[in-house]
Amino acid sequence: MSRWLFPIGLLILSLAVLLISFMPAPYMRNQFDFDASIIHRERSAQTPQFVHIQFSYPRWVRLDESGSVLVKIGLDGTEMGDLQGWQARLEMNGVVISPHGESRQKAIAGKETVFRWNIRPYKSNAGRGTLWIYQVRENGANHDITNLILAHPFEIQIWNWMGAAGWTLLRLLGGAGVLVSVIWLGGVQAGKSARQKTNHAATSH
């Protein structure tokens, strides 16, 4: 039994290392609901309508690796008022954000508007940021005006283990540990089978 303990322990440890180094982050989801009067002040009180904003981001991101941030904006009904579109901006310190700066999309009645950003932290003390969302309205003079409707602070944990090279090394060590432990266990099993055959032969004689 003692021959099995070390390779089994090495296999469990190596699998745990691989799990930690590859495990995808769970996503945090924040929901914000606003009365649609912010976009359509003249709407009928008999037909209540709401703007729904869903903000999704990873709980953590490994240093020098990428994550995805998502915003979905939807309307209950089809009354648009003078709403032309939505404008969004993601700000984070110590993080490369793509696309950078303001993003604007046309609002379409009955369809969800989606904003997506790719983030890549390059500092271990980064992770804090703010989501900004504006409504884009028509002012009747061929010029759009923007009004802020949401400024939401958030934080993503940055996992740092010697940067991208460190995570690669950790994965290599985990993979090597799995390979060694499997070969070791195979040798132990082969040795056990050989001893059983020897004992069986000796007993037969």
| CA dihedral for 185, 191, 194, 196, sign (positive or negative) | negative
Place of tokens 């989501």: 131
Listed residue (135, 54, 122) closest to 92, CA to CA:
122
The residues spanned by each domain of the chain are 2-12+163-200, 26-159
Coil, strand or helix: which one is 171?
Answer: helix
- What tens-digit pLDDT sequence spans the chain (205 residues)? 566 677 777 777 777 776 776 677 789 999 998 877 766 655 555 556 788 999 999 998 988 888 999 999 988 766 677 788 899 999 999 999 999 999 999 988 778 999 999 999 988 888 899 999 999 987 766 677 888 999 999 999 987 766 556 666 666 777 777 777 777 777 766 656 655 556 555 555 5
- Among 3.40.1160.10, 2.60.40.10, 2.40.50.140, 3.40.50.280, what is the CATH number of 26-159? 2.60.40.10
Residue 32's pLDDT is 93
The Cα–Cα gap between 199 and 204 comes to 9
